[in-house]
Amino acid sequence: MRYSGLSILRNALSGQKNWAPAWREPAPKPQYDVIIIGGGGHGLATAWYLARNHGITNVAVLERGYLGSGNSGRNTTIVRANYHIAGNEPFYAHSLKLWEGLEQDLNYNVMMSQRGVLNLCHSDGQFDFYARRGNAMRLHGEDAELLDREAVRAHAPFLNFRDERFPIRGGLLQPRGGTARHDAVVWGYARAADSRGVDLIQNCEVTGFRIENGRVRGVETTRGYIGAGKVGMAVAGRTSQVAQMAGLRLPIESQVLQAFVTEGLKPVLPGVITYGMGHFYISQSDKGGLVFGGDIDFYNSYAARGNLPMVEHVMEAGMAMMPMIGRARVLRSWGGIADMTMDGSPIIDRTPVDGLFLDGGWCYGGFKATPASGWAFAHLLATGESHETARAFRLDRFATGHVLDEEGTGAQPNRH
Site residues (vs ligand FAD, CB under 6 A): 37-43, 62-65, 69-72, 74-78, 205-206, 234-236, 238, 242, 257-259, 293, 336, 338, 362, 364-368
Judged by beta carbon, residue 169 or residue 394, the one nearer ligand FAD is 394
Judged by beta carbon, residue 127 or residue 377, the one nearer ligand FAD is 377
Q: Which helix (H) or strand (E) holds 370?
A: helix 370-383
> Is the separation of the CB atoms in 82 and 140 below 8 Å?
no
Residue 277 CA to residue 126 CA, distance in Å, equals 10
With 0-12 / 13-18 / 19 or more C-beta atoms within 10 angstroms meaning exposed / middle / buried, residue 70 is buried
Residue 393 CA to residue 412 CA, distance in Å, equals 18
User: CB count, 10 Å around CB of 20?
Assistant: 7
Judged by beta carbon, residue 127 or residue 258, the one nearer ligand FAD is 258
- What's the min distance (Å) between Cβ of 314 and ligand FAD? 11
Query: Which of 120, 192, 176, 106 minimizes the C-alpha distance to 152?
Result: 120
Judged by beta carbon, residue 204 or residue 382, the one nearer ligand FAD is 204
Q: Which helix (H) or strand (E) holds 334?
A: strand 330-341
User: Residue 407, by phi and psi: left (phi above 0), alpha (psi -120 to 50) or beta?
Assistant: beta
User: CB count, 10 Å around CB of 158?
Assistant: 15
Which residues, 6+ apart, have CB-to-CB distance to 400 below 8 Å?
A: none
State whether the Cα torsion 291-296-299-304 is positive or negative: positive
State whether the Cα torsion 324-175-370-41 is positive or negative: positive
For residue 225, what are the β-bridge partners?
220
Question: What is the amino acid identity at position 305?
Answer: R
- Listed in sequence order, the DSSP H helices in 78-211 are 89-106, 124-139, 149-155, 182-195
Work out the widest C-alpha separation in the chain, in whole angstroms. Answer: 66
Judged by beta carbon, residue 19 or residue 302, the one nearer ligand FAD is 302
Which residues, 6+ apart, have CB-to-CB distance to 11 below 8 Å?
A: 17, 18, 19
Judged by beta carbon, residue 169 or residue 191, the one nearer ligand FAD is 191
With 0-12 / 13-18 / 19 or more C-beta atoms within 10 angstroms meaning exposed / middle / buried, residue 304 is middle
